[in-house]
Amino acid sequence: MKKTFAITALACLAALTGTAPAAAQGGHDAHHVVQTAAADTSAALSEGTVKKVDKAAGKITIAHGPLVNLDMPPMTMVFRAADAAMLEQVKAGDKIRFSAERVGGVFTVTALEVAE
């Protein structure tokens, strides 16, 4: 069974327009999708394993495969979470599929799916 977490975070839009982000959350069913407005939902998600979650700093460490959109080889690295709710849904050891973007020069997870 897979869980998909969803919250639309307009952080990228806010960075571009200078307005505060507005978050909207869908229903509380078993499947949620977490992504920002700038995330391309048609793009394939990358695979990875959560190594560490730092809720206080809003960061997640992921050992990931290639990130084609960022022209990045497989490695372990720290990402900012576009939405803090993402960090509430994962723990070290979770296998995930995710999308990452460079937002304001910072590598940021913009969409996240957790596979059980």
The pLDDT tens digits of the residues spanning 7-29 come to 323 233 333 334 333 333 344 43
Name the pLDDT band for 106 (thresholds 50, 70, 90): very high
Among 4-13, 25-34, 45-54, 69-78, the minimum mean pLDDT is found in: 4-13
d(CA 42, CA 115): 19
Name the pLDDT band for 52 (thresholds 50, 70, 90): very high
**By the 8 A CB rule, do 25 and 9 touch?**
no
* pTM for the predicted model, two decimal places: 0.65
Q: Is 98 left (phi over 0), alpha (psi -120 to 50) or beta?
A: beta
User: Where are the extended beta strands (E) located within 7-85?
Assistant: 7-9, 23-25, 34-36, 46-54, 59-64, 75-81
- pLDDT tens digit string along 64-74? 999 999 999 99
* Residue type (1 letter), 65: G
Q: Where are the alpha helices (DSSP H) in 7-108?
A: 11-17, 84-88
User: How open is the CA angle 81-57-23, to the nearest 5 degrees?
Assistant: 40
Q: What is the pLDDT of residue 116?
A: 63
d(CA 13, CA 16): 5
Domain boundaries, the chain: 2-115
Kindly indicate whether the domain formed by 2-115 is annotated with CATH number 2.40.110.10: no
